Structure 1
């Protein structure tokens, strides 16, 4: 039966009836207190309170089925919200059941009429808490995508897959080698790659004697072509 009801997704439908019936029941009862001659308002509030209490029980039942279906697909923050939402659902279902019985006694027995003011105060606080519980349901759907296609498309968290721990500040600090920049010279590079000319000195001149700038270039010494023979007279 639970599997069959889960496929119908009845929890959102029943929730809307629960919130609407109970809030309107209390508000009508408050208006009826200001108009005691309008007896039909009190009976209307009584009927709505009974129907709202039944809807609150149905909300808790269908909500438990939905929680079983989506629990494993939720992360820990969403599970915390769902747990609070579910606990309030149980407490509110019991509270509105008691309020419905209390309201029947007020309407059916005269000696309970004196507790009407206390009943209205408790019922008003209960619907405020009911509104907060509805807000938690909205957080589950709109913030965490509980029960929606968005949650179905997300990866299912695994207990074994845990994020790697952040490196501790007390551990060894990794050493990083930074290359040292090579010194660069600021002097301008020579424009020509040819080696400078080295002046050469003549063998007949000393190395340390400077050569005049206007001295003509030395010509090679003429060598005699042949030595004179002894039988020929010059």
Structure 2
């Protein structure tokens, strides 16, 4: 039995959304925790979300690297894959290092000073910027270059909700 579903060209598209969601939720929890830095439970929740996100980012990174090395691509697609890989490399290792820092901050230093908490949140938001850039480059691979997806027929009619005409808008 294969880990890869029959509809997926490789494991990367199945895995890639987990680190994105974990890291975004971690940043939101972190921002909420910045209002009350003395609440260690919120800080620790964000820390564990960063750790899970960093771990899943590594899994997505290596599955994407394996998928990319198995593709035949043209010049334009090669440049786009390289750009996505470069951003993914930066983002993955940023969050691995940041999650390690957060573990130290939560369980070794026990730092709850406002200055450290705010600095940590700002660094995390910089990481979210890296994450967004990586996702944008990955989305471009799929939606602009069509890598890893089956072609969609473009000569058919527009899809509509059953029982409606194409001119009617959904409520």
The TM tier, using the shorter chain, reads 0.7 to 0.9
* Structure 1 position 116, deviation (Å): 2.9
> 1:67 Cα shift?
0.4
Give TM-score, length-normalised by structure 2.
0.77
State the distance in 2 between where 1:42 and 1:107 align.
7
Q: How far apart, in 2, do the equivalents of 1:45 and 1:4 lie?
A: 30
Name the structure 2 match of 1:84.
83
Q: CA deviation at 1:6?
A: 9.5
Task: Give aligned pairs, total.
Answer: 147
Q: Flag structure 2 segments of 5+ consecutive residues without an equivalent.
A: 153-171
CA offset at residue 110 of structure 1? Answer: 3.2
Higher percent of residues as helix: 2
Query: Greater CA radius of gyration, 1 or 2?
Result: 1
Please state how far the C-alpha of 1:29 moved relative to its aligned partner.
Answer: 0.8
Within 1, Cα distance between the matches of 2:12 and 2:104? 30
SS of corresponding position for 2:64 = helix
Alignment of 1:1-234 (within 5 A): 9-36=10-37, 38-70=39-71, 72=72, 74-110=73-109, 112-113=111-112, 115-150=116-151
Taking structure 1 as the reference length, the TM-score comes to 0.57
* Higher mean displacement: 17-26 or 37-46: 37-46
User: Which runs of 4 or more aligned residues in structure 1 lie more than 6 Å from their structure 2 counterparts after TM superposition?
Assistant: none
What's the C-alpha RMSD, in Å, of the aligned pairs?
A: 2.3
Q: Could you tell me how far apart the structure 2 residues matched to 1:105 and 1:116 are?
A: 13
Structure 1 residues not aligned, in runs of 5+: 152-234
